[in-house]
Amino acid sequence: MSVLPEKFLLPERTLVGAGRVKELLAECARYGRRGLLVHGRSLAAHGVLPIILQNNPGGLIMAAWEHVGGEPTLDDLSALLAAARKHRADFIAGVGGGSVLDLAKACAGLFHAAQPPQAYHQGAAIETPGIVFAAAPTTAGTGSEATVNSVLTNNATRQKKSIRDDALLARLVILDAGLLAHCPQRTIAYAGMDAFTQAWEAFTSRHATWLSDCLGLQALSLIGANLEAFYRGASAAAEPLLLGSYLGGLSFCMARLGIVHGICHPLAVRYHVPHGYLCGVCLPHAVELNREVVGPKYAQVSQALGRDLLELIRHLLVALDMSSPFRGQALIEKDAIIQETVGAWSTKANPKTITAADVAWLLDRLFGG
Ligand SMILES: [Fe+2]
């Protein structure tokens, strides 16, 4: 195994600690005078938005843009881009969950782009670097603050995929566990299982390196030890969970993912099940599928968790009230789901080479009970 990936990127500055989101605008002042703050509904509802905007020691000219909710789409991105260009923003700050961060990130990356977002969603390279992106997550889950991709859905084609470019990486990350204080219980569960899945898939990816393994194993350990506690209300578990999510994000950005993320997108666009929910219910089957191929890594993770990995995952799914959303449902467009899964970017990094029969087996487990 290589020590380092052939290439890896890390955010320029990462601030860690409760209350540090108040430093967001002071930090952003180094990147320009005009900024757009992208956020979700809850930030305004819980009074965090005015606190951020009031802490403006740099005399920045700020505007705010609220994501109305739901999984982010290219239509959302087009509206956000128009607002950011109209404001003549020098930087985009995203404070929110994965959807908000992915939108803010894509907006910053495509700020100077010559083509419409659809072109980059189809794989076109970004010709001109965008503007600075700063990220402060309010959920412990997607790892979006650590990665160079933005997952967006094209409503017209039902395609859910990433815009991926090195230029999308956040320059500034603020990991403030206080931002998780109002996170709904369902979101804690779904985001947490997404983060856990991402860390496992990076740790066992065929592109794993010593560095991504260090990050991924620590992420698994932090998330495994704190997810249920935070779900049950232990606020002290928020920071380790947030750190686990970030480290998992860094690791999968280096090592990529696996079959769970490969099958999630084709299922999400057909069944509209939240991403983290899908990850959680797919994970135990994917671990079974890969167990023989990952060698000592299964035992290594179990040792770090202090418990057998599959036993912990099954326990978490019960504890977080995440039974399969597919049980009893009809499987639609099976051949298309299989084809899209086998061809997915994430599936190609899976430790076991995934065949159509493997995906069919996984679908049987998900839909058959
Ligand atoms: Fe994910």
58 in the same domain as 29: yes
In a domain, 268, yes or no: yes
Let me know: does 4 contact 32? Beta carbons within 8 Å.
no
CA distances from 356 to 29, 41, 122, 259, 289 (A): 51, 41, 24, 12, 13
Between the CA of 276 and the centroid of ligand 1 the distance, in Å, is 6
| CATH code for the domain in which residue 285 is found | 1.20.1090.10
Q: Which pLDDT score is estimated for 70? A: 86
Between the CA of 151 and the centroid of ligand 1 the distance, in Å, is 9
3-state secondary structure of 49: helix
CA-based Rg of the chain, rounded to a whole angstrom?
20
Between the CA of 197 and the centroid of ligand 1 the distance, in Å, is 7
Between the CA of 202 and the centroid of ligand 1 the distance, in Å, is 11
Query: Exposed e or buried b for every residue in 16-42, given b needs 16+ CB within 10 A?
Result: eeeebbebbbebbbebbeebbbbbbeb
Q: Identify the domain containing residue 246 by its residue range.
A: 184-368
In a domain, 267, yes or no: yes
Between the CA of 320 and the centroid of ligand 1 the distance, in Å, is 17
Between the CA of 59 and the centroid of ligand 1 the distance, in Å, is 37
Domain count, the chain: 2
Q: Which pLDDT score is estimated for 159? A: 84
219 in the same domain as 104: no
| CATH code for the domain in which residue 30 is found | 3.40.50.1970
The Cα 207–Cα 325 span in angstroms is 31
CA distances from 108 to 12, 164, 309 (A): 16, 13, 38
pLDDT profile of the chain (369 residues), mean per 10:
95 98 97 97 93 93 95 96 98 97 98 97 95 97 94 89 93 98 96 98 98 98 98 98 98 97 93 94 98 97 98 98 92 96 97 98 90
Between the CA of 275 and the centroid of ligand 1 the distance, in Å, is 7
174 in the same domain as 25: yes
Q: Which pLDDT score is estimated for 58? A: 80
Between the CA of 124 and the centroid of ligand 1 the distance, in Å, is 23
Q: Which pLDDT score is estimated for 160? A: 82
Which among 159, 179, 199 is the end of a domain? Answer: 179
Q: Which pLDDT score is estimated for 158? A: 80
Between the CA of 195 and the centroid of ligand 1 the distance, in Å, is 7
In a domain, 153, yes or no: yes
What would the two tokens of residue 3 be? 């020590």
In a domain, 4, yes or no: no
In a domain, 18, yes or no: yes
21 in the same domain as 72: yes
Tell me whether residue 53 is exposed, middle or buried, using C-beta atoms within 10 angstroms of its C-beta: 0 to 12, 13 to 18, 19 or more.
Answer: middle
* Ramachandran angles phi, psi of 352, nearest 5°: -85, 135
Strands 149-154 and 159-164 turn out to be: antiparallel
The Cα 22–Cα 176 span in angstroms is 9
Between the CA of 60 and the centroid of ligand 1 the distance, in Å, is 34
Between the CA of 198 and the centroid of ligand 1 the distance, in Å, is 6
